[in-house]
Structure 1
């Protein structure tokens, strides 16, 4: 969320005031009273307090039961959660409790009164006595909801971590440590208190003690409620720039991607939804003991700040969002989401890559921490991941809420983290399912975890070079595409004869571009294959798809140490371009290691280094092609970083009279992809463009029939595939697999792809699609306008929105005239 004012706030002062009011509900009062004032807040706030941790059991079962009911199910989950939390917060406010954090189906509340231990315990007793038999009413029946409550008292430090991109509060001190232990012991219906709380309670309030922990007598009469305090917001400035600054600060307490959902209409309710998500849990262990001195505390707080900012940047880089960081029974635990609030088609891959990068960042963090404390520090991480459909949305009320997720898949991710050894990454079979077959995984013995009847299979993640091209899994037979393949083979023949060719294959995700390139390979035995692939999160990684290509060109063994790789690169350059050895350091940024400058390269300006680098790499291609024809396949070019795109365009311009075929695979139309440095490529006589379109009706059914050859396709199944998959081979393949397994719903493997397309829509387009999905499977424009709940101005634009959604294949136009009739999937 860089540069909020310039990007996000071209609005009126009134709109900003409304946005401020909404954003303030996502932050605790402790943040509002200090973070937004003119005098900069301290790093932490120290109080004497009691904390109450309330864990609601039953929400997971509720969410799971309604996960298959679609949007109506998500609405019922949202209503049940809001009703329950509204009743809870009403009771807590009677005892002047301040909600510090939500955590899916749990929350943490602070009490600061003189007798805060008794006050917090009284609030806990009132919660259990009034809400102990609560039943959530849903369309499928009733679901009992129960509370397990843990209490802790003593010193409380509210630490504010982060920067302008993302902030989060962390609770430290005796009170936080006590509830971390108490929450693990508290079963549904129980109130467990820590030692400090226990010492402040009358003996008659305690039912039993085990070691230093106490169980409160649930029938005890609580203290009467205290005078309730109203949640007061700091005054807003009448000046636009100052309001923007306040809004910008509050926005950093939201997970990435959520602010954009609120900007269009801050007063609108954020819809809860079931989403395919990969949940990443981290337990940070081996933190130094918390010292009593101010200097020692400052050092520890600096270490935690460094840790959070480092890990948040990594998670953000891979498209995830930090959801929360909390104290654990040992160390701290951090939860990150991949797929909510923003989905990508490869969220599981991103999450695993982020976990690897997080583990890789620990050595430097420890070095900085050791320098900070002037003593050896050895932080470590235990990481667990799981994937599945979860409920995602606002938890709480209109007065105080947070964006969170809940469901069995979230709980399992936390359990998996608990099984991981320091320094390791464990994933579930559900996450493994979404990873490429080449992912380095080692199966570990299945483990028994809380909430699961059977042992859970787990896999240990090994080192994974994200820059190596991923093997395309060929589960389906090859159907159709005879004209396209003929054109590709013709280009291959011309390149083999010394007449270089470049071919841009473009089409939507799953349409079969990569599969087409594989079908070309049997005729390329005489060619040296060079493969590069752009990463969806690689915009800020210069030259990232070129590293494996240069490894192949220069015969570098990636399994050898860096010094041997550098030596092999030098020898490769000497073989191919002996007169350009003095330019060897220019290859360092692509190869991924530092090469000391020669006198020649040291004198070059950055602009000249860039120009000479392009020329050296192009010359490498020319020299190697003189020995053997080259086939360069560059996949997913819609995600190319700028310098990689410049290098690709430069190389293509030079191949006219060489034995090189460049095969470019991307999703964007040439008018969108071939801009800037590549805008002249379509004018080259050896450059061609080929749009890969959907399979015909007969080809699509033939593919499905091949996939289900063991059982055949009924007429209704054929209709289902044609309606839901169209002619997209990936969709057909996944739906056929679902049918083979006895289902007919959209497979989990497609949820991420579909949600990622929806999440890329503007909020106005997204809202039209959401309302359309509620109206019914078939609808026309007047019907949609009649129920559209937003402003008149947006209603006037609905026709334009419907046209766009139809072009994007998110709606189908069943009948164009005289009155358009639309279909939702």
Structure 2
């Protein structure tokens, strides 16, 4: 762990920061992620910063300012090319051509590629600490590069990295044949690169694939960042077909089958048809995105992921996170009933609510993904950044989101556990990814929730400082779990647990503590400071801050 001391705040960082202004210590992790902090600090308007990023009520002097746009884009001038690989080509082109448009139907083919075996690989390498994380990064990076290189050779564009899955769009002339041929080649590719020999064992990655074609319906929504959302009947059909396919199989829709030669079509399987042979079609490389200077590429990436990318600190890690899946339900039915414009408004209302509540409680908004007639949003407190007390922050965020009225019904599942994180992909399309059982279990807990319910595992409730009214549900078995999963319905806030301060003395941090105390002496002289504490999760950053506060009785302390 090390401390970086600044007299002025002149960097966009995504680490733990402590601000000292005229005798007031502010412990605010990742406040700079709103991208307002630097300019506001130079103005000395600390209270306006906290209101602007939606801090708790005791931060505010009056109501929080409007969150119509929370990103000051000039901060990112010159960074667009760095961020470009992390944004889908479709969203960049949409932003370039018609940024005010919120609904975009596209004639194309959609492929959902689910890769099994990642969880086993994660668990195998988690035992090896940092070396295991580096092995995981190198292994998965080579797999994703091979798969995307093949898919892009047939004109694909990667829309989403949904968990262990890839969502690919093919458009333009011949897209049904190119999509189908690409999936055939992807199965051949995974056979070549998916048998992974790592220290301690061998893991085999396999794929099940669903492909459909027709009018694919896209939306953008959000106030903190511009999120690309995929929904509608074709998206649901694609996910449903993939669920029918077993590992090694490619399922296609009847509409797609009608566009292929008969010899390509295999036997039916439930509501799908299996692909028996690849269509004869020429390769057609995906078009380049082109220059993005002048485009608001930064606004298309979630705040925490954006800060992570710009820091260029992409070391792979094993982390503990609290994952929350928010399922926005009945989206296909609502889209058909309301029409695209009214549905876009309802969807924007929900995404704004989630983004803004997450920002207020400093919980990273990770991504959205497609479902069967639904859209799922995933929050990952602890990856890529953590502010401490992740379980409490997530539950408060979710309670706030669920208590807001809206047209689209929601249900939520929450879990805490270990994951692997890292950056993957070829130079033209990359992503910050989180893999592990913690996320898989959160998804399975969500599937047990009813509309309007938040379900949290017991570990989440035990670790939260804030207590909630809870109602246990019957324990249930979950895939990959040897023991029953225990979860409860989370109701309104009931109170707060007493905070326990460690009674053992602080050991081995004398130099860091002396440096912090020297800063306090200078603050008493009227100078302002920003202190960044950097170190691995669990190394003792919060304990060091606690020790500083214990020795600063004459300093007013504000907690975010």
TM-score range, shorter chain: 0.7 to 0.9
Cα deviations by residue, 1:306-333 (Å, 9 ceiling, x for unpaired): 1111111112211112212233113221
What TM-score comes out, normalization by structure 1 length? 0.52
Which residue does 1:258 correspond to in 2?
305
Matching of residue 114 in structure 1 with residue 173 in structure 2: yes
Q: Distance in 2 between matches of 1:288 and 1:118?
A: 26
User: Is contact 1:279–1:338 with CA below 8 Å preserved after alignment?
Assistant: yes
The one of 231, 248, 257 aligned to 2:288: 231
Matching of residue 416 in structure 1 with residue 445 in structure 2: yes
Which residue does 2:95 correspond to in 1?
35
Q: Distance in 2 between matches of 1:340 and 1:463?
A: 26
Q: CA RMSD in A?
A: 3.6
Which residue does 2:7 correspond to in 1?
none
The one of 184, 188, 193 aligned to 1:125: 184
Q: Distance in 2 between matches of 1:479 and 1:235?
A: 54
Q: Distance in 2 between matches of 1:149 and 1:285?
A: 23
Matching of residue 160 in structure 1 with residue 217 in structure 2: no
User: Is contact 1:148–1:191 with CA below 8 Å preserved after alignment?
Assistant: yes
Matching of residue 177 in structure 1 with residue 236 in structure 2: yes
Which residue does 1:285 correspond to in 2?
329
Which residue does 2:80 correspond to in 1?
20
Q: Distance in 1 between matches of 2:225 and 2:80?
A: 17
What TM-score comes out, normalization by structure 2 length? 0.75
Matching of residue 392 in structure 1 with residue 421 in structure 2: yes
Q: Distance in 1 between matches of 2:36 and 2:301?
A: 13
Aligned residue for 1:263, secondary structure, equals: helix
Which residue does 2:314 correspond to in 1?
270
User: Is contact 1:132–1:147 with CA below 8 Å preserved after alignment?
Assistant: no
Give the superposition deviation at 1:117. Answer: 1.9
The one of 201, 206, 214 aligned to 1:141: 201
* Structure 1 gap ranges (5+): 237-242, 367-378, 481-506, 509-667, 680-759, 771-804, 810-825
Greater Rg over alpha carbons, structure:
1
* Structure 2 gap ranges (5+): 1-32, 43-74, 508-515, 546-560
User: Is contact 2:147–2:189 with CA below 8 Å preserved after alignment?
Assistant: no
Q: Distance in 2 between matches of 1:447 and 1:80?
A: 34
The one of 359, 382, 386 aligned to 1:316: 359
Q: Distance in 2 between matches of 1:232 and 1:120?
A: 19
Aligned residue for 2:306, secondary structure, equals: helix
- Relative to structure 1, is the Cα distance of residues 98 and 260 closer, same or farther in structure 2, using a 3 angstrom cutoff? closer
User: Is contact 1:162–1:168 with CA below 8 Å preserved after alignment?
Assistant: yes
Residues 533-572 of structure 1: matches in 2 within 5 Å?
none
- Relative to structure 1, is the Cα distance of residues 426 and 670 closer, same or farther in structure 2, using a 3 angstrom cutoff? farther
Which residue does 2:463 correspond to in 1?
434
Q: Distance in 2 between matches of 1:97 and 1:298?
A: 28
User: Is contact 2:244–2:270 with CA below 8 Å preserved after alignment?
Assistant: no
User: Is contact 2:162–2:369 with CA below 8 Å preserved after alignment?
Assistant: no
- Relative to structure 1, is the Cα distance of residues 331 and 105 closer, same or farther in structure 2, using a 3 angstrom cutoff? closer
Which residue does 1:299 correspond to in 2?
342
Which residue does 2:409 correspond to in 1?
380
User: Is contact 2:34–2:303 with CA below 8 Å preserved after alignment?
Assistant: no
Which residue does 1:359 correspond to in 2?
402
Residues 56-95 of structure 1: matches in 2 within 5 Å?
56-95=115-154
The one of 476, 485, 499 aligned to 1:456: 485
Which residue does 1:53 correspond to in 2?
112
The one of 286, 307, 332 aligned to 2:375: 332
Give the superposition deviation at 1:140. Answer: 2.5
User: Is contact 1:132–1:189 with CA below 8 Å preserved after alignment?
Assistant: no
Give the superposition deviation at 1:227. Answer: 2.6
Give the superposition deviation at 1:36. Answer: 3.6
Aligned residue for 2:424, secondary structure, equals: strand
User: Is contact 1:32–1:233 with CA below 8 Å preserved after alignment?
Assistant: no
Give the superposition deviation at 1:473. Answer: 6.2
Q: Distance in 2 between matches of 1:63 and 1:74?
A: 9
Give the superposition deviation at 1:357. Answer: 1.2
Q: Whose strand proportion is higher, 1 or 2?
A: 2
Residues 559-598 of structure 1: matches in 2 within 5 Å?
none
Q: Distance in 1 between matches of 2:504 and 2:38?
A: 49
Matching of residue 445 in structure 1 with residue 474 in structure 2: yes
- Relative to structure 1, is the Cα distance of residues 128 and 671 closer, same or farther in structure 2, using a 3 angstrom cutoff? closer
- Relative to structure 1, is the Cα distance of residues 433 and 396 closer, same or farther in structure 2, using a 3 angstrom cutoff? farther
Q: Distance in 2 between matches of 1:31 and 1:390?
A: 28
User: Is contact 1:62–1:143 with CA below 8 Å preserved after alignment?
Assistant: yes
- Relative to structure 1, is the Cα distance of residues 192 and 7 closer, same or farther in structure 2, using a 3 angstrom cutoff? farther
- Relative to structure 1, is the Cα distance of residues 155 and 290 closer, same or farther in structure 2, using a 3 angstrom cutoff? farther
Q: Distance in 2 between matches of 1:5 and 1:346?
A: 22
- Relative to structure 1, is the Cα distance of residues 202 and 5 closer, same or farther in structure 2, using a 3 angstrom cutoff? farther
Aligned residue for 2:300, secondary structure, equals: coil
Cα deviations by residue, 1:543-567 (Å, 9 ceiling, x for unpaired): xxxxxxxxxxxxxxxxxxxxxxxxx
Aligned residue for 1:21, secondary structure, equals: helix
Aligned residue for 1:50, secondary structure, equals: strand
Give the superposition deviation at 1:94. Answer: 1.5
Aligned residue for 1:333, secondary structure, equals: strand
Q: Distance in 2 between matches of 1:195 and 1:472?
A: 59
Aligned residue for 2:303, secondary structure, equals: coil
Aligned residue for 1:447, secondary structure, equals: coil
Give the superposition deviation at 1:205. Answer: 2.3
Q: Distance in 1 between matches of 2:394 and 2:96?
A: 33
Q: Distance in 1 between matches of 2:363 and 2:209?
A: 31
Q: Distance in 2 between matches of 1:275 and 1:202?
A: 49
Matching of residue 342 in structure 1 with residue 385 in structure 2: yes
Residues 479-518 of structure 1: matches in 2 within 5 Å?
none
Q: Distance in 2 between matches of 1:260 and 1:761?
A: 18
User: Is contact 1:113–1:119 with CA below 8 Å preserved after alignment?
Assistant: no
User: Is contact 1:255–1:341 with CA below 8 Å preserved after alignment?
Assistant: no
Matched pairs, number: 465
